[in-house]
Amino acid sequence: MAEVFKSGFIGIIGRPNVGKSTLLNAIVGEKVAITTPKPQTTRNSIRGIYNEEGVQLVFIDTPGIHKPRNKLGKFMTDSALSTFEEVDVILFLTDDVLDKGPGDRYILDLLKETDTPKILLINKTDLLGPETYKEIYDAYSELGMFDEIIGISAKKGINTDLVIEKVKGYIEEGPMYFPEDMITDDPERFLVSEIIREKLLLYLKEEVPHGVAVEIEYFNESPRLTEIGAIIYCEKKSHKGIIIGKDGHTLKGVGIQSRKEIESLLGTRVSLKTWVKVKDNWRDSDIALSNFGYREQK
Ligand SMILES: Nc1nc2c(ncn2[C@@H]2O[C@H](COP(=O)(O)OP(=O)(O)OP(=O)(O)O)[C@@H](O)[C@H]2O)c(=O)[nH]1
Ligand SMILES: [Mg+2]
């Protein structure tokens, strides 16, 4: 009898900054989601596809669930919450002691409502001492709502194989949803805009990055050179000055770093031009959110 093909969808859920996108990249083996030390980095749900003989696992990295302060925040949190019902397995990530902040409890209360299998991943074990790890482990296992608890380090790749093994135990026969050489279904234009946004987040001070959006103005491909024009939107005139930087240094640095990474993504040389524009309060504007792709789930 032929072996059955197994496939399923797996949601990666948690507070901002716990390492969800880092885990997705570790599982897929390539960078499909941007990661930074700043919370609220991921804004859209991003799919990463894991393939092996007879198995396809579609992991969905979601924005960190937080109390929204604007329409963008609401979109982000809603897209994370809507994944609960769509998936076959939920991976809930934490990196800290339960009850240290209100964040985890809030998500756990929502998670309780669904009977989808749940695996708790205690991430960043490379930073946690054994006592803290035990404290986290005990508090969560007392809740009795997780089918498994695994300590991992997404950044160091510790136990990420075990996560895949455990997930396989919860999925059933299903179709091959994507071609087996595909690692994400996001278009290159989106990945490019995300790479630029990542460099901006890394270069900029706290108050600016969350108000930044990147729109690809043109994307002209030829076999050896890709010409890309990107508009960087920010919310204040003063932020525009910060993004450009003294003598244009900041924007130049962002451009150089982005270009290098985009070249390795696309496998061609890249000419990248960037402009900075101000769009007041775009994070609360339905039209702007829609233009930037921050609307209903894909
Ligand atoms: N030391 C250590 N750092 C980690 C680990 N996993 C992730 N990080 C770091 O934690 C920070 C946040 O990682 P992300 O993957 O962007 O977190 P996220 O949960 O996707 O964050 P949001 O998209 O904002 O919700 C980054 O600086 C990562 O390098 C880990 O296992 N160990
Ligand atoms: Mg993320």
Alpha-carbon distance 263 to 50, whole Å? 24
- What's the rounded Cα separation, in Å, for the pair 240 and 234? 6
Mean pLDDT of 42-50: 96
pLDDT at residue 298 tops 60: no
Which atom of ligand 1 is the closest one to the Cα of 16? 25
Atom of ligand 1 nearest to the CA of 127: 1
Does residue 201 have its Cβ closer than 6 Å to ligand 1?
no
CATH of 6-173, one of 3.40.50.300, 3.40.50.920, 3.20.20.70, 3.30.1340.10: 3.40.50.300
pLDDT at 69 over 50: yes
Centre of ligand 1 from the C-alpha of residue 82, in Å = 22
Per the listing, tokens 């990420």 go with: 160
- Quote the CA–CA distance of 253 and 234 in Å, as a whole number: 18
Identify the H or E element spanning 274: strand 269-278
188-291 has which CATH code? 3.30.300.20
Query: Which tens digit of pLDDT belongs to each residue from 104-136?
Result: 888 999 999 899 999 999 999 999 999 999 999
Whole-number Å distance between alpha carbons of 108 and 85: 15
| pLDDT band at residue 100 using 50, 70 and 90 as cut-offs | confident
Q: Give the model confidence (pLDDT) of 194-211 as tens digits.
A: 999 999 999 998 778 889
**Residue 153 CA, closest ligand 1 atom number:** 31
Please report, in angstroms and rounded to a whole number, the separation of the first and last CA atoms in the chain: 38
Domain parsing of the chain, residue ranges: 6-173, 188-291
Q: Whose CA is nearest to atom 1 of ligand 1?
A: 124
Span from the CA of 19 to the centroid of ligand 1 (angstroms): 3
Residues whose CB falls within 8 Å of the CB of residue 47, separated by 6 or more in sequence, listed in order:
32, 58, 59, 60, 61, 184, 185, 186
**What does the mean pLDDT of the chain come to?**
94
For 1, the token pair is: 């009898």
Q: Which residues surround ligand 2, an ion (CB under 5 A)?
A: 20-21, 41-42
The stretch 14-25 carries a mean pLDDT of 97
Distance 26 CA to ligand 1 centre (A): 11
Provide the 3-class DSSP secondary structure of residue 40.
Answer: coil
- Residue bearing the CA closest to ligand 1, atom 21: 17
Long-range contacts, 33-39 (Cβ 8 Å, 24+): 33/61, 33/194, 34/194, 34/195, 34/197, 34/198, 34/201, 35/198, 36/198, 36/201, 36/202, 38/201, 38/206, 38/209, 39/15, 39/64, 39/66
Residue 98 CA, distance from chain mean position: 22
Question: Cβ distance 48 to 31 under 8 Å?
Answer: no
